Amino acid sequence: MSFEVSTAKVDITPRPGVNPYMAGYGTQTAQRTVVSDAPYADPLCARCVILWDDGSPNAIISLDILGLPRDVHQALRPRLTALADWNSSDIVLVASHTHNGPAVATLDPFISYGITDQDRIQAYTVWLQDQVVELVATALAATRTPVTLDYRVASMNFARNRAGLSTHETVVPVLTARSSNGTPRAVLFSYGCHPVSAGWQERWDGDWPAGACTAIEQETGAFALFLPGPGGDQNSVGVRGWALRDQHSQALGAAVATAAQSAGRALTGPISSKLSEVMLPLDITPTPANLAALRAAFVTRMGNPLGQPAWYRRHAEAMITRIDNGAFNLHVPNPSQMWRIGGSPALKMAFLGGEVVSGYGVYFRARNGGANALYIGGYANEVSCYIPSNALLPPLAPPYGSYEGGWDADFPGIAGGSMTIYPQVAHFRSGEGGVEATLISALSAQLA
């Protein structure tokens, strides 16, 4: 097998006045808007790496945004598939999950941010899709460099489990495409942690994933691309602000650059891929009596007796309308994608949609040769909600509720926590036939 690589990058920072709305943190009253249109350090970018396997392309596209909504992913995929002679499974889209990027309706703009006039968000989203298509077309047409591929695992330790569980991410996978003289040509790297080191800001910024890309490129001269790990329940530690953002950028960038300076385990190919969609079950039984009780609980929420954030009321209002119209979901569709790059051993790369929590990383690494043989991450292709494990859902979770699990103690049978910003009427089902069992079954079949 022979490998080549080609790359491209495009600025996706909203132009002044186009889309001033910022994503990542819910708002109580006034919308969160950018104050300075100049990014903090570097422009927000969409990046593309094409790995050519004996002339056949395989693309990974990374965007400095909170996440790709389902409708955007579903609209983009056929447009991208039409660009080359390849399968849909040969194309991966990921979002870095920066919390200081533009709103693209990953979270419902009205529920999360109180935005009723969404014209500018929609106009930017249409423009963004065109930019991604043009980006991939540019990467496909760019000069190809013959390379070898190698893989190794570094480590980082600024993530902690914010949900109180014992798991915290330290794994930093590093996949390097190396020119014939041994120098890195492209570096794909990962870490499982929320990009919130900068905290709530009023300037566009890609947080530490973007900062690490810059540091890697400056140190190695290679093209860098970030792949998010299973960081749904992981937060960066320290006092949030620009200084912490830069500290974490430099630390991760230095660790990856050091790992990429010398060859890791050789990957010889070929590259094979699989893509499917799994239906994750919500904990709701749509009988008239249950729906009436569900609606009554949301009516109580409208009064906000517990003083919850404003988006709880906005969410309750929207869910009452959905129940009345019969427009609520019983399941959440979630893409599940796997690449396999041959070697001794092969490298398997699992790309999951949604905000996947760290427990899934622990589970699948333990059963697939550890981090040395498996990359696993979330925020891939589309982000419809958090993907919790059973430990974050009743009856295993603490009785006070779970943000990542999507439920609260006031009405544990309806949506709470994160499910009030990802507009679902209920949290996921746990136990047999629940979200954890369903996801494990689907991804295990792909990895087999």
> What's the pLDDT tens digit per position in 387-401?
999 999 999 998 899
pLDDT of residue 26: 87
8 A C-beta contact, residue 380 and residue 94: yes
pLDDT of residue 304: 87
pLDDT of residue 266: 97
Q: In which band, very low, low, confident or very high, does the pLDDT at 91 lie, cut at 50, 70 and 90?
A: very high
Contacting residues for 52 by C-beta, under 8 A, at least 6 apart: 3, 4, 5, 6, 58, 144
User: Domain range holding 251?
Assistant: 3-268
Q: Pinpoint the alpha helices (H) of 369-434.
A: none
pLDDT (mean) for 277-298 = 94
pLDDT (mean) for 278-282 = 97
Measuring CA to CA, how many Å separate 154 from each of 37, 130, 282? 35, 35, 37
Domain membership of residue 310 (yes or no) is no
Does position 132 have pLDDT exceeding 80, yes or no?
yes
Does position 1 have pLDDT exceeding 90, yes or no?
no
Domain membership of residue 331 (yes or no) is no
pLDDT of residue 441: 97
**Is omega for the bond preceding 43 within 30 degrees of 0, making it cis?**
no
pLDDT of residue 146: 98
Element (H, E) at 252: helix 242-261
pLDDT of residue 105: 84
pLDDT of residue 448: 93
Q: In which band, very low, low, confident or very high, does the pLDDT at 296 lie, cut at 50, 70 and 90?
A: very high
Q: In which band, very low, low, confident or very high, does the pLDDT at 284 lie, cut at 50, 70 and 90?
A: very high
Q: In which band, very low, low, confident or very high, does the pLDDT at 74 lie, cut at 50, 70 and 90?
A: very high
Domain membership of residue 388 (yes or no) is no
Domain membership of residue 201 (yes or no) is yes
Domain membership of residue 397 (yes or no) is no
pLDDT of residue 37: 86
Residue holding tokens 């419809």? 384
pLDDT (mean) for 345-352 = 98
pLDDT (mean) for 133-148 = 98
Tens digit of pLDDT for each residue in 320-347?
999 999 999 999 999 999 999 999 999 9
pLDDT (mean) for 45-50 = 98
Domain membership of residue 342 (yes or no) is no
Domain membership of residue 363 (yes or no) is no
pLDDT of residue 62: 98
Quick one: residue 325, left, alpha or beta (phi over 0 = left, psi -120 to 50 = alpha)?
A: alpha
Q: In which band, very low, low, confident or very high, does the pLDDT at 41 lie, cut at 50, 70 and 90?
A: very high
Q: What is the pTM of this model?
A: 0.96
Domain count, the chain: 1
pLDDT (mean) for 407-420 = 89
Compute the C-alpha angle 247/214/271, nearest 5°: 115
Tens digit of pLDDT for each residue in 173-231?
999 999 999 999 999 999 999 999 999 999 999 999 999 999 999 999 999 999 999 99
Does position 28 have pLDDT exceeding 90, yes or no?
no
Name the 3-class secondary structure at 177: strand
Strand pairing partners for 46?
A: 10, 63
Domain membership of residue 161 (yes or no) is yes
On average, the pLDDT of the chain sits at 96
Tens digit of pLDDT for each residue in 99-117?
999 999 888 999 999 999 9
pLDDT (mean) for 352-367 = 98
